[in-house]
A and B are shown apart, each in its own frame.
Chain A
Amino acid sequence: MSPVELPVASMRGACIPLLAQLGEERSDLVALGADGRSIFEELARRFPDRFVDVGIAESSLIGVAAGLARAGKVVVVSAIASFLLRRAYEQIRVDVADPGLPVKLVGVGGGLSYGTLGPTHHMVEDLALTRTMPNMAVFVPCDAFQAQAALRAALDWPGPAYVRLGTGDEPLIHRESSALAPGEPEVLRSGEDLLIFATGGCVREALQAADELAESGLRAGVVNVHTFHPWRRESFQELLDRTGIVLAVEEHSRVGGIGDALAGICCGRPVRFAQLGIRAEYPPVGARDELLSFFGLDRPAIVQAALRLLGNVL
């Protein structure tokens, strides 16, 4: 059976009207771009005095945001995720995260979503970098609807927050935008034999893998992990204990992402656990789907890993 094609939408596109609406709701909201203003186009049109483009200067972007936040503003900044977090890491850590300032970082093009643009534009360690920062909420929406919910949750969070967006049109997992419960795992599909925990673009792959496993009579549940901090450990523990067989799948380095986070909970529990993630290797030129296959994160790879895990106990 070929997987069902889902309707698609852009996370960034979904955030454009929401940012304008948030600007309407909060007079203290200020937005900064670094030669990337498309996500702010509606906000900037409606509130031209509350948007500033700092140019191609990510370190300056974060420093200016920190200064604005110290003067009482809630600041939304957006840039390509790899430049934002790698170039300005120290400014984010020291000037924003340590003092807990309300600067909301929106990283565009998380994971492998920039595909053929090459590894300078891939961002596969953003969760590891942001999870280790004090005060920082970390959201990884899996589709355009959830991107809206994540952005709103980031604004509601009192301190700094990071939101990982993809780029271009991506499949819609949800049918509407509904509030996101920060820190809670989102069970998209229940299953008694195995639970697949997935993030971002891998959620679609996990759902399709679960479909394929169902054809063999295997009931695989799929859990979307949309938040890394805050993190409701008890909720995750409960889910792990329910099936005892767990596969983590992420469009992120194997180090510091969902696999590591879940392994930490599995430790000392009777859970059979495996993780799929991105190994530290220079990738070939390829579109996102090709790169997911290269790193063993696509539907067939997830099915294979699930069968291996189940085979060990059947």
Chain B
Amino acid sequence: MKPPVSRVEDSAPSLGGDLGRLADAARRIRLHVIRMAAVKRVHVGPALSIVEILTLLLCLPFLKRQGSLDDPRRDRFILSKGHGALALYGALCEAGLLPAAVLAGFGQPGNPLAGHPVCGIPGVEVPTGSLGHGLAIGCGLALAARMDDLAFKTVVLLGDGELGEGSVWEAAAFAAHQRLGGLVAIVDCNGCQQEGPTREILNMEPLEAKWRAFGWQACRVDGHGLPALSEALSAAWERRDVPSVLIAETVKGKGIPFMENDPGFHMSWLQGELLDRALAALEVDGDVAG
């Protein structure tokens, strides 16, 4: 088997002096989420926990588009926890991949943005919504990269509750067995699934040990700390011999204090005072249309 072709542009990007710009992008992505949650009942908490991860992947960006979205060399991203869709839409918008007008029309008749990333949304590589599917698809993409001597990365973002799906572990075993170094998994470890704390419903800890036992390079990282997250992603980017996983410690509802760690905000429709408080937390006046 031939080793993947190495190219200069495949190296991990550096955070450099971008911290302020990226922190701003993250704040705007949260604002997009809150504005969409003002339109109708949507998944809010699970979107807010992945904002920094998506900011680095799409706005730094770790994920290279190469020539275009059709370029076979482009990096791929799969939001396996499809219920984080609102953050993905916000990040795609901040990255210039999804027109702001489409985002502004969320919930209106004819708007393509569903509660999960469905087929046909600009910038969405793989539609998702049913948990436990993304990692195997990512394996297929990483396998194709190796077959075609392409060096693109495939990144799959999973929820920690999603790890209860057995299909995740079928794919984890496959990726390690095939030594798919082009595959990076990120677990949004917010510790809180729809009905309550993940540790109380189906405890999958210790996660690093589990992934390592399957043959993955694993590390635990602050999923909201841009410098730490960037460093961990860079390390994963450089690994080419085995798949890597980041166990990203996150907070469900992150950034909106009254939502944090409250499973009641797994889905929510923010109206009236709740909306005002959420916008205030992001230092925005009550002008939703803004």
Contact = CB atoms under 8 A, between A and B. Distances in A.
B135 to A, nearest CB: 7
Nearest to A71: B144
A272 interface: no
Contact of B170 (A57, A95, A99): A57
Interface string A39-66: 0000000000110101101011011111
Interface string A67-85: 1111111000000000000
Nearest to A93: B130
B139 interface: yes
A95 B143 CA distance: 17
Given A50-B147, A98-B119, A99-B119, A70 B173 contact: no
Interface in A12-54: 30, 49-50, 52, 54
Interface string B238-276: 000000000000000000000000000000000000000
A95 B139 CA distance: 13
A241 interface: no
A69 B136 CA distance: 12
B138 A67 contact: yes
B140 A66 contact: yes
A91 B178 CA distance: 21
A60 B168 CA distance: 8
Nearest to A32: B140
A90 interface: yes
Contacts of A95: 133, 137
Contact of A99 (B127, B166, B171, B178): B127
Contact of B145 (A54, A59, A71, A91): A71
Interface residues of B, number: 32
Interface residues of A, number: 27
Contact of A63 (B72, B129, B136, B147): B136
A66 B136 CA distance: 8
A54 B139 CA distance: 11
A67 B167 contact: no
A17 B170 CA distance: 30
B139 A63 contact: yes
A60 B139 contact: yes
A66 B139 CA distance: 9
A66 B141 CA distance: 8
A6 interface: no
- Classify the interface of chain A: helix, strand, loop or mixed: helix
Contacts of A68: 140-141, 143-144
A94 interface: yes
B147 A70 contact: no
A103 B154 CA distance: 20
Contacts of B136: 59-60, 62-64, 66-67, 91
B279 interface: no
B208 interface: no
Interface in A183-230: none
A60 B139 CA distance: 9
B170 A69 contact: no
B176 to A, nearest CB: 12
B76 to A, nearest CB: 8
A67 B170 contact: no
Given A57-B170, A64-B174, A71-B72, A94 B133 contact: yes
A87 to B, nearest CB: 10
B1 interface: yes
Nearest to A90: B130
Q: Taking each of B127, B133, B137, B173, which has the highest tally of chain A beta carbons within 10 Å of its own beta carbon?
A: B137
B137 A49 contact: no
B122 to A, nearest CB: 15
B54 interface: no
Given A60-B136, A67-B137, A94-B130, 11 more contacts: A30-B147, A60-B171, A62-B136, A64-B136, A68-B144, A70-B137, A70-B140, A70-B141, A91-B133, A91-B136, A95-B133
6 contacts: A52-B178, A54-B170, A57-B173, A67-B144, A94-B129, A95-B133
Which A-B residue pairs are the 7 nearest by beta carbons? A67-B140, A63-B136, A71-B144, A60-B170, A57-B170, A59-B167, A64-B140
Interface of A: 30, 49-50, 52, 54-55, 57, 59-60, 62-73, 90-91, 94-95, 98-99
